[in-house]
Every structure is written in structure tokens, then in C-alpha cells.
């Protein structure tokens, strides 16, 4: 039996983008990442974490094709290393590469809970569902130590504020003691992202995320605890993972998911060259074909930034994926992810840190 190699990075490049007038560079490389131990096995890859102290923690958006208007991101960068991650370009703001830097030089916001309490206490705060995991994963490996996501959940539970979580990690189950009571009151739902059931593909596509079987186990655990669990097949990569749509929908249903949705792969800004390099590394024989199909989905470009079409794709390939997905969903008896969480239970905290009595 072939023993799989130790977890690697997702990106094969580490150049800055030049978008913000920053000099293009290659990282010097971390000798701890690059060296081999005497037995020939690569050592654990090193990740650095820098404390970030923002003034606010709630991020607002007004995008018409996104189903939430506010979110919280406990971390910047993501150690999961998903090569397609649309958040990668944000690292360029720090003069860091969207490539290896994005998955190895992370930022944590340990003051997030205190900031959240202060923002929820502001006069006139209007309650709508808070989304976690919209940019980088709130349950990436460093959450094990920092526990920032859990501290945020504690504030949302205390104030009875509705929330949704999107994650690729089974670590979300560790917070089921908070999520289950909230879900019982119609205040919480979780979406677990599963892009492939093939461990070999997952290992290169999302090298440091938990394996698909663990994510499906998390869906089952959440469902058994009464937490509405959904599966996100995002992104679907034509020529690499699109043949798995029906299998993932079936696995989601068997794991107790209430519904699912899918999104075709998006390659904004610096993600496109990183993805192309990843294809050449792992799928050299089909790289040109895969990119040709992606461009057919995106109006002849690597990426379509336009509202609505960016989430759906266009052309025959997009139509075919939608048709296959709808048939699979109908066969498995699953519904779309349409949430209606309660907002009437919210209790704003006093500015002094205590909850209002009435």
C-alpha cells in the first residue's frame, strides 16, 4: 500500500502581484519547509501567525448576488491551502504573496469577541444573520490554539444573534455545545464545503484541509445534534471534479444534510496564474483542456467578475452542470440552501458588557 506524502502547500508559486505597486518577488523560501529529515521525510511545514488588532470586526457588503450583508473573519490567510481560494489576493494588501504566503503567513484577531460585543451594543444596530467563513476558514488549524471562532460564537449565543458558518473542517463539531442550543431556537446553520470525495484530488486541491470523509462525518454529527447542515460543492472544477457532482450530492444526503448548492470555479485576479501553475504541476496532460472549459464558463476569460453570472457561469457547460445538479438533488430529496433564521430573539449587550434585562 502506497503511503501518501506528508501535507504540502497548495500553491506552487509565491510571487507578489504588482497590483498595488509592490515589487514582484520570489520568496526566499523557508529552509524548515524545504529541507528533508535524515530519513527522507519532509518535516511539518512551518506557519507563522501575526496578531492583528482591527478597530472593527464586522465586515459589511452590498453585493446583490450574496445572501448575507455582514460577516466576521477571525483570521486572514488560510492554512488549508485551497488553490482556488478567491481570498488569496487579499494578502497582497500586506505586501505578501497570494501564493505560499497566503497559506503560511497568517493573521489572527484575538480581540474579535470584544469588538463584536461593542458593535452589537451600538444604538440602532439592526439584526440580520452573521456569516462566518465567507473569506477564510474559521476552523483552520490555528483555531485549535487561538479559539477566536469559539469566542465569537459565545458572544452570538449570549446575545441570541443568528449566524451561519461555512467551513471545510470537521473542527466545527467541537463547538456543537454552542451551536445545538442556538439551532434549537432557529439561530444557527452550518454549511460544510466538499469539493471532491477522492482523497488524492483533495490532497492536492486542498492539501491541509481535513479529508472529505471527515467532513461528511461532521455533517452527520451536526445533523444528529439538531444543527441544520448543508453541503457546498464549491467550487466545481470542470475536467477535475465535475464528474463527482452526483456522488457528492448522494453522500451529502446519506450524511443527513438538509440541502446543497454548487458554484463553478472562479479565478479572480492573482488566483488565475496560481491555478494554472497548479494544473501544470498536478494535471499537465489536461491543463489546457481544463482552462478552455473554464474560459467557456466565463465568457472567454479566466474570470467573470460580473454580479450573478460570476456565481453561475454561462454557456453549455454551465447549463449541463446545473441540469445534472438539479436532477441529483431531486433524486436524493434535497433542497436548496434557503435559510430563514430568527432575528426576534436578539438581546443587545449593554456597553458596559452586560446584557439588557428587557
Mean pLDDT of the chain: 89
* pLDDT tens digits along 187-206: 999 999 999 999 999 999 99
Burial of residue 167, with CB atoms counted within 10 A of its CB: 0-12 exposed, 13-18 middle, 19 or more buried: buried
pLDDT bracket for residue 3 (50, 70, 90): very low
Q: What is the pTM of this model?
A: 0.88
CB 18 within 8 A of CB 12: no
The confidence score (pLDDT) of residue 356 equals 53
- SS3 readout for the chain: CCCCCCCCCCCCCCCCCCCCCCCCCCCCCCHHHHCCCCCCCCCCCCCEEEECCCCCCEEECCCCCCCCCEEECCEECCCCCCCCCCCHHHHHHHCCCCCHHHHHEEEECCCHHHHHHHHHCCCCCCCCCEEECCCCCCCCCCHHHHCHHHHHHHHHHHHCCCEEEEECCHHHHHHHHHHHHHHHCCCEEEEEECCCCCHHHHHHHCCCCCCHHHHHHHHHHHHHCCCCEEEEEEEECCCCCHHHHHHHHHHHHHCCCCEEEEEECCCCCCHHHHHHHHHHHHCCCCHHHHHHHHHHHCCCCCCCCCCCHHHHCCHHHHHHHHHHHHHHHHHHCCECCCCCCCCCCCCCECCCCCECCC
Q: Please state, in angstroms and as integers, the Cα–Cα distance from residue 110 to each residue in 7, 113, 122, 178, following that order.
A: 27, 8, 21, 19
CB 68 within 8 A of CB 131: yes
> Is 257's pLDDT higher than 90?
yes
Average pLDDT over residues 212-216: 97
Percent of the chain with pLDDT over 90: 76
> Is 342's pLDDT higher than 60?
yes
Number of separate domains in the chain = 1
* pLDDT tens digits along 141-163: 999 999 999 999 999 999 999 99
Q: What is the CATH number of the domain that holds 53?
A: 3.80.30.30
CA distance linking residue 236 with residue 251, whole number of Å: 16
Beta strand 105-108 pairing with 75-76: antiparallel
Residue 353 lies in a domain: no
The confidence score (pLDDT) of residue 243 equals 97
pLDDT bracket for residue 37 (50, 70, 90): very low
pLDDT bracket for residue 38 (50, 70, 90): very low
How many other C-beta atoms lie within 10 A of the C-beta of residue 307? Answer: 11
Residue 170 lies in a domain: yes
> Is 33's pLDDT higher than 80?
no
Residue 348 lies in a domain: no
Residue 350 lies in a domain: no
Residue 343 lies in a domain: no
CB 149 within 8 A of CB 175: yes
> Is 238's pLDDT higher than 50?
yes
Between 27-31, 96-100, 121-125, 345-349, the lowest mean confidence (pLDDT) is in: 27-31
* pLDDT tens digits along 107-132: 999 999 999 999 999 999 999 999 99
> Is 39's pLDDT higher than 50?
no
> Is 184's pLDDT higher than 80?
yes
**Residue 215 belongs to domain spanning:** 42-332
> Is 281's pLDDT higher than 50?
yes
Between 168-177, 259-268, 343-352, the lowest mean confidence (pLDDT) is in: 343-352
Residue 27 lies in a domain: no
Residue 272 lies in a domain: yes
Angle, helix 271-282 to helix 287-297, in steps of 10 degrees: 150
Number of Cα atoms under 13 Å in the Cβ half of residue 237: 25
Residue 20 lies in a domain: no
pLDDT bracket for residue 269 (50, 70, 90): confident
> Is 275's pLDDT higher than 90?
yes
> Is 5's pLDDT higher than 80?
no
The confidence score (pLDDT) of residue 260 equals 97
The confidence score (pLDDT) of residue 6 equals 45
Average pLDDT over residues 74-81: 96
Beta strand 75-76 pairing with 70-72: unpaired
Amino acid at each position: 500500500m502506497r503511503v501518501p506524502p506528508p501535507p504540502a502547500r497548495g500553491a506552487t508559486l509565491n510571487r507578489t502581484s504588482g497590483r498595488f505597486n509592490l515589487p514582484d518577488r520570489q520568496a526566499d523560501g523557508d529552509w524548515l519547509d524545504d529541507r528533508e529529515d535524515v530519513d527522507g521525510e519532509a518535516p511539518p511545514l512551518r506557519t507563522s501567525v501575526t496578531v492583528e488588532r482591527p478597530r472593527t470586526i464586522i465586515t459589511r457588503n452590498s453585493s446583490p448576488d450574496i445572501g448575507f450583508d455582514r460577516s466576521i473573519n477571525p483570521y486572514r490567510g488560510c492554512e488549508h491551502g485551497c488553490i482556488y481560494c478567491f481570498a488569496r489576493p487579499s494578502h497582497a494588501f500586506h505586501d505578501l504573496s497570494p501564493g505560499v504566503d497566503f497559506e503560511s503567513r497568517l493573521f489572527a484577531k484575538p480581540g474579535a469577541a470584544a469588538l463584536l460585543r461593542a458593535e452589537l451594543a451600538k444604538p440602532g444596530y439592526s439584526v440580520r444573520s452573521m456569516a462566518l467563513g465567507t473569506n477564510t476558514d474559521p476552523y483552520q488549524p490555528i483555531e485549535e490554539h487561538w479559539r477566536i471562532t469559539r469566542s465569537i460564537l459565545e458572544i452570538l449565543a449570549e446575545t441570541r444573534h443568528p449566524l451561519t458558518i461555512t467551513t471545510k473542517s470537521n473542527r466545527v463539531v467541537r463547538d456543537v455545545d454552542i451551536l445545538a442550543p442556538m439551532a434549537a431556537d432557529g439561530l444557527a446553520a452550518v454549511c460544510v464545503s466538499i469539493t471532491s470525495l477522492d482523497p488524492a484530488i483533495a490532497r492536492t486541491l486542498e492539501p491541509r484541509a481535513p479529508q472529505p470523509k471527515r467532513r461528511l462525518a461532521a455533517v452527520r454529527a451536526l445533523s444528529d445534534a439538531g444543527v441544520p447542515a448543508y453541503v457546498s460543492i464549491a467550487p466545481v472544477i470542470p475536467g477535475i471534479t465535475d464528474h463527482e457532482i452526483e456522488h457528492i450530492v448522494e453522500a451529502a444526503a446519506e450524511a443527513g444534510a438538509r440541502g446543497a448548492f454548487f458554484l463553478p470555479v472562479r479565478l479572480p485576479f492573482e488566483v488565475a496564474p496560481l491555478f494554472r501553475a497548479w494544473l501544470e504541476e498536478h494535471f499537465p496532460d489536461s491543463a489546457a483542456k481544463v482552462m478552455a472549459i473554464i474560459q467557456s464558463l466565463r465568457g472567454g476569460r479566466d474570470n467573470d467578475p460580473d454580479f450573478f453570472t460570476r456565481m453561475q457561469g454561462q454557456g453549455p457547460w454551465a447549463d449541463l452542470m446545473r441540469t445534472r445538479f438539479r436532477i441529483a438533488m431531486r433524486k436524493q430529496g434535497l433542497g436548496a440552501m434557503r435559510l430563514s433564521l430568527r432575528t426576534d430573539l436578539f438581546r443587545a449587550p449593554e456597553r458596559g458588557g452586560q446584557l439588557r434585562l428587557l
